Amino acid sequence: MADLAVFYEHPQWFESLFKTLDRRGLNWTPIEIQDHTFDPGDAALPAPVILNRLAMSSFLRQEEHALFYSMAALDHWQSLGARVIYGPGVLAYDTNKARQLSLFRKAGLEIPKTRVAHRRADVPRLAAEIGYPVMVKVNVGGSGTGMIRYDSPEELEAAVADKLTPMGVDGVALIQEYVPARDARVIRCEVLDGKLLYALALDGAGSTFDLCPADVCMVDKPTITISEFKPTADITQAVEKVAKMSGLDVGGIEYMIDDRDGVARFYDLNAMSNFVAKPLEVLGWDPHDKLVDYLLREIGARAKVAA
């Protein structure tokens, strides 16, 4: 049996990871999510350590996506004793932006004013409570999809009448104030093993809602520039607190500085990190090696348990 299984959906996104695993000599096996099925009565594990690389945007690429299927498969392996990195617990946050926002508030952090609805007819009333302009977002998103800004009640009501407002694969919508990000910048803090690994400033964020900073994502986004960023001690502490509360093994937590009042507002947790494009240029080092170091520690810890 392999020491590590990588459960993944988008092969292009993980070429750097796969090359690093091979270069470092890990005994690992790939599991392509789209071709996968499982037997709930089968007690065999593909590996003692399983790295889940399910992307929330997978529903954009496959009509018969595996978002909720994967939660069952990962929970099955975890119940059999596997160490699942990005397991069903944190996946339950990743597939639910409403839960993410509640988590941020539980951690004592500020968020954009938000209402959550499961009926399209409720959206105009909730938008009026917040005030325009508003964002209507899907609850399960990815790569900036399912996000539309509305600047007036008339515009939103017409979209509701035509059933054009975002609702998403789970039928839940978020109605959220439009936060003017200071300097059109958002900050993505990457964590590994519960600690801040690095942070990125994404400048020009007002030009797109797709803020994925990885190689494949950056092809059609020349207006976004990325640079390393050093968060304050308070922000670092907040990010690590959220990571601990959510069980986030490796992934990103995003916030922006509200230009109206200078307050940091947290708005997204993304557990499927594939790291920054051109890391040697941006950071001066490759985070994939840090990830593999972590995987080796987890493999070693699991071997000790088995012994």
**Residue 205: which pLDDT band, with cuts at 50, 70 and 90?**
low
Tell me: pLDDT of 207 over 70: no
d(CA 4, CA 31) in angstroms, rounded, equals: 10
**What percent of the chain is predicted at pLDDT more than 70?**
93
What would the pLDDT profile of 129-146 be if each residue is shown by its tens digit?
999 999 999 999 776 778
What are the φ and ψ backbone dihedral angles of 269, each rounded to 5 degrees? -125, 125
What's the confidence (pLDDT) of residue 143? 65
150 — pLDDT class (breaks 50, 70, 90): very high
> How much is the pLDDT for 210?
46
Choice between 88 and 168, residue whose per-residue pLDDT is larger = 88
**Residue 157, Cβ density class (10 Å: 0-12 exposed, 13-18 middle, ≥19 buried):** middle
Average pLDDT, stretch 231-252?
97
pLDDT at 58: 77
**68 vs 59, 65, 75, 88, 97, CA distance in Å?**
11, 8, 11, 10, 15
Using the predicted structure, report yes or no on whether residue 122 has a pLDDT greater than 60: yes
> Within 10 Å of residue 57's Cβ, how many Cβ atoms?
23
Binning pLDDT at 50, 70 and 90, where does residue 305 land? confident
**What's the mean pLDDT when you consider all of the chain?**
92
pLDDT score of 208 = 46
Is the preceding omega at residue 213 within 30 degrees of 0, hence cis?
A: no
Average pLDDT over residues 147-165: 97
Instruction: Give the percent of the chain with pLDDT over 90.
Output: 79
For residues 272 and 261, the model is more confident at: 261
222 falls in which pLDDT band (50, 70, 90)?
low
Burial class (CB in 10 A: 0-12, 13-18, 19+), 199: buried
137 half-sphere exposure, CB direction, 13 A CA radius: 26
How crowded is residue 193: how many other Cβ atoms within 10 Å of its Cβ? Answer: 16
Q: Considering only CA atoms, which of 184, 188, 182 is closest in space to residue 201?
A: 188
Q: For residues 306 and 263, what is the distance between their CA atoms, to the nearest angstrom?
A: 48
pLDDT on residue 273: 81
Question: CB–CB of 128/137 below 8 Å?
Answer: no
* Residue 306 banded pLDDT, cuts 50, 70, 90: confident
Residue 256 has pLDDT above 70, yes or no: yes
